[in-house]
Copies of this chain bind each other. A is one copy, B any other.
Amino acid sequence: MLTQAAEDYLKSIYKLQEKGGKVSTGILAEYLDVKPASATGMIKKLKSMNLVSHERYQGVTLTDAGKVIALEVIRHHRLLELYLFKALGIPWDGVHEEAEKLEHVISEDVEARMDEFLGYPTADPHGSPIPDKNGVVPETVSMPMTSLQNGQSCVVAEVSDSDSALLRHLGSFNLYPGTAFQVIEVAPFEGPFTIDIAGQQAVIGREVAKNIFVSNVQET
């Protein structure tokens, strides 16, 4: 079994390489809130286990074996988030932190039983896809809310899950995955979005909108 730290590195490399290929040591260190020297050390260890490919100064990528483990940890994390949300009623702004610790500790048996209890779900409470037990990630199509135009309607697909205060803010507008809304106005000069959610108006700033991804975009 890998250590918790090693699993977190693999998971992070996976997420970072999804948007941008090779992952630099500095980016990885910043993402994990450690110093670059620490990241270098772990990269060496992971390389010796053939879980990552790495050449000095050239960034790191997962090997196939490393990807399998990364997806396994991500599956644990997202299944746990949904389970804690649905079975124990933990609010969606609290599940990430719990799952971050539990993901390294649950057995494959617990994983399978949660999966069954939840009816083999494909997305966590924040809309992120849950890899299936073979590591296949459900396809998702979404675009950042910031690319929406005046008058367009859409459905919330996914929101970033790690900022608890942001999630509470979105919850106050009922902006959960699956929620439909329409853009009433986009203020000029990179200004905020005024939107209509089931008849209720809300003003969403740029910084918040960057963390919201939408699908089913239509002109109205």
Interfacial residues, chain A to chain B (CB-CB below 8 A): 84, 87-90, 94, 97-98, 101-102, 105-107, 109-110, 113-114, 117
Contact = CB atoms under 8 A, between A and B. Distances in A.
Main secondary structure of the interface of A (DSSP, over half): helix
Contacts of A102: 102, 105-106
Contact of A84 (B84, B101, B110): B110
B101 A114 contact: no
Nearest to A97: B107
Given A87-B87, A90-B113, 17 more contacts: A84-B110, A87-B117, A88-B110, A88-B114, A88-B117, A89-B113, A90-B109, A90-B110, A94-B109, A97-B107, A98-B106, A98-B109, A98-B110, A101-B105, A102-B102, A102-B105, A105-B105
A88 to B, nearest CB: 4
Nearest to A103: B105
B113 A88 contact: yes
22 contacts: A84-B110, A87-B87, A87-B117, A88-B110, A88-B113, A88-B114, A88-B117, A89-B113, A90-B109, A90-B110, A90-B113, A94-B109, A97-B107, A98-B106, A98-B107, A98-B109, A98-B110, A101-B105, A102-B102, A102-B105, A102-B106, A105-B105
